[in-house]
Amino acid sequence: MLLVTGGAGFIGSNIVASLNEAGRSDVVVNDVLGSQVKWRNLAKRQIADFVPPEELFAWLDGRKLDAVIHMGAISDTTASDGDLVLSTNFRLSLRLLDWCSANDTPFLYASSAATYGDGADGFADDWSGAALRRLRPMNLYGFSKHLFDLALTDRLRRGERMPPQWAGLKFFNVFGPNEYHKGEMMSLVAKRFDEARAGKPVRLFKSHRDGIGDGEQKRDFIYVNDAVAVVRWLLETPKVSGIFNVGTGAARSFRDLISAMFAALGRAPDIEYVEMPPAIRGQYQYFTQGEVENLRRAGYNAGFTPLEAAVKDYVTGYLDRSDRYR
């Protein structure tokens, strides 16, 4: 039996889908559905149980699990309730780490590229104590994930009991089906698709940095299928532990991303550049790109879907259909 926390969320529900497609129905989801459309992320899935957060540790008591895949978190980068974010993203993660350590259960968890802050020190997934302590996240979400990375690796260095396998995944800009409940945290493709299909121009921010053109701000965009493939590989490779970037290693511009969306619709790009709000100019990231050599050295040799192919699959397989869910 596998437990997926945040299993009704974006990446979590895609992990559940992938496990189902591989023949596993013994997947337990821990999440909050609320009254919105989040339940649709699981509508095509088979699960063994659905456990609300307040019942999680009572449910775990006495259980034997193949692994805990911890994707649950408050992932809104604009979140401002520090007590709630740390309780959910840091302290709950520590309790799950304790349980997995005590019960010899593999523990895979979502860290975040937000831990790198403005990227001034690069995006190398060096999880030595000195390297981690140099990072300065720019938002509360990234800070909460960074705190957990520090706490886990400090336990390891002190020789404390750890799970038989543990892995932190620093996801970069993941996009794909089942992200629709995320509102403003959705990918730009999901947020702007309906406008583009309706014949409206897509707006992108102008650049306010010398040497970088409008729309040429770059991110490491990774299709959710590729992110899930890394999780599945870790489950199948129990000797591998560590903190790993989950990106493609190849930054692409927002102009490339939106042009790929228009191409998938069979149309020429229609992009309008607008002023970036002054309030965010000082902390806006112009470039992110995950170094993936650490993952390669660990033995992961699968490729990553090229941006144009990934966007086409997302548009034609999901966004441009009446049923957009995986």
pLDDT digits (tens, 9 = 90+) for 217-246: 999 999 999 999 999 999 999 999 999 999
Q: Is 128 a member of any domain?
A: yes
Asked about 141 being catalytic, the answer comes back as yes
Stretch (H or E) spanning 320: none
| Local structure of 315: helix, strand or coil | helix
| Local structure of 252: helix, strand or coil | strand
Q: Is 13 a member of any domain?
A: yes
Q: Is 310 a member of any domain?
A: no
Q: How far apart are CA 273 and CA 78, in angstroms?
A: 23
Residue 203: both structure tokens together? 């707006």
Q: Is 98 a member of any domain?
A: yes
Structurally, the chain folds into a number of domains equal to 1
Q: Is 165 a member of any domain?
A: yes
Structure confidence by residue, pLDDT tens digits, 156-190: 999 999 999 999 999 999 999 999 999 989 999 99
- pTM of this structure: 0.95
Stretch (H or E) spanning 171: strand 166-171
Pairing of strands 218-219, 252-253: antiparallel
Q: Residues 116, 141, 180, 223: which is the catalytic one?
A: 141
For 26-134, list the strands marked E by DSSP.
Answer: 27-30, 49-51, 67-70, 107-110
DSSP conformational letter for 108:
E
Determine the structural domain holding residue 66 and report its residue range: 2-176+221-249+288-304
Q: Is 78 a member of any domain?
A: yes
Q: Is 81 a member of any domain?
A: yes
For 176-246, list the strands marked E by DSSP.
Answer: 202-205, 218-219, 221-223, 242-246
Asked about 284 being catalytic, the answer comes back as no
CATH of residue 38: 3.40.50.720
Q: How far apart are CA 125 and CA 202, in angstroms?
A: 34
Residue 198: both structure tokens together? 């309706």
Q: Is 86 a member of any domain?
A: yes
Share above pLDDT 70 across residues of the chain, in percent, rounded to a whole number = 100
